[in-house]
Amino acid sequence: MRRFRPTVVQIDLDAVRRNVGLLKPADAELMAVVKGDGYGHGEVPVARAALQAGATWLGVALVEEGLRLRAAGIDAPVLVLSEFPPGSEGEALAAGLTPSLYTDEGLAGLVAAGATRVHVKVDTGMHRVGLYPPEAAVGFVRRVLAAGLELEGLWTHFAKSEEDEGTTLGQLKLLREIADALAAEGIRPRLLHAANSAAVMLHAEAHLDLVRAGIAIYGIAPDPVLAGMLDLQPAMAWRSAVTMVKRLPAGEGISYGHRHRLERDANVATVPVGYADGYPRALSSKADVLIGGRRRRVSGAVTMDQILVDCGDDEVAPGDEVVLLGRQGDQAITADELAAHAGTITYEIVTSVGPRVPREYLGG
């Protein structure tokens, strides 16, 4: 579709490739997690870039996401990180998607659909999905093998890997104990995996056979405390342009509710982006944007389609570039910064950028 509005997200695929190269351990495979439309970056272009950089697996949350990768011609191994929903097994297996498995109901559905291999997920403490209690894993795997399926992988997911070493290593110990108990019966899955982005960065002992890198491949630390630990390069930049400028007097209320009033005469710029695009309303009168290489405060309520920006006495004109997320000159607006203002996490900032904001890809 032809684009008229200047608001756009730019995705630097070279940054994705570089980040994958930094994250991939020398002695383990890397799964690039591209669920949530590649964390808002675009699942197909990111998947291709990650595979070019050395990823050997892709991870998705939904069967539908895996099917879109296949429709785009991507034939790399794809693990669906939750069990296939009932009724989806046939189509998912026909597309070559690899199932996660953790219930007897899921096992029955896969057997009926003709599955050949699975990754069994064990709940070692996240308590979202996975086989629980962990002590039931050996008996469950026996049933998987008795049904004629290959145990290709055994895995778990860390709950606090960015902040709690004790909990993380305790979960890893549980997974290793299960693997050891299986090995005692001659059962050795090819892939043992546990590490998410934070564990890739902090816990080499958790790298095992495969790491699952998500947010970090997009150049964002999984927690602000880890920022700068690796030289990750953010892949997303969100840009727009000024569409109108008005000189308004001190005391004038602006935007809905007039909850913000100007403290002095100011040039106020209108920028065509709003919460319908995923720019959080919680950023009202808190966040900065970049115009002319300088920080300018979003003033008044973020509306559905537009924001207002207080530019003081600086000369600003329609057509001037506005950076909502990313770098302009020597200044940068980060996802961590926006998340802090909005009272959320970086994951939500980048995954919330809506579909009406077109993506442009650099380094393709």
The answer to whether 83 touches 99, Cβ cutoff 8 Å, is yes
Q: Is 132 a catalytic residue?
A: no
How far is the C-alpha of 357 from the C-alpha of 335, rounded, in Å? 17
Query: Annotated catalytic residue: which of 35, 218, 275, 347?
Result: 35
The number of beta carbons lying within 10 Å of the beta carbon of residue 104 is 13
- Closest by alpha carbon to 189, among 241, 147, 134, 149? 149
Token couple for 138: 């050996």
How far is the C-alpha of 52 from the C-alpha of 46, rounded, in Å? 10
- Closest by alpha carbon to 194, among 252, 143, 154, 237? 154
Question: Hey, what amino acid is at 236?
Answer: M
Q: What are phi and psi of 270, to 5 degrees?
A: -95, 135
Burial of 116 (0-12, 13-18, 19+ CB in 10 A): exposed
The answer to whether 356 touches 276, Cβ cutoff 8 Å, is yes
The answer to whether 306 touches 271, Cβ cutoff 8 Å, is yes
Who's near 165: CB < 8 A, 6+ residues apart?
202, 203
How far is the C-alpha of 362 from the C-alpha of 237, rounded, in Å? 11
How far is the C-alpha of 354 from the C-alpha of 106, rounded, in Å? 33
Query: Annotated catalytic residue: which of 39, 173, 246, 256?
Result: 256
Enumerate the H helices of the chain as residue ranges.
Answer: 13-23, 35-39, 43-52, 63-71, 89-94, 104-113, 137-146, 165-183, 197-202, 335-342, 346-351
Token couple for 80: 């669906």
Q: Is 173 a catalytic residue?
A: no
**Which residues are designated catalytic?**
35, 256
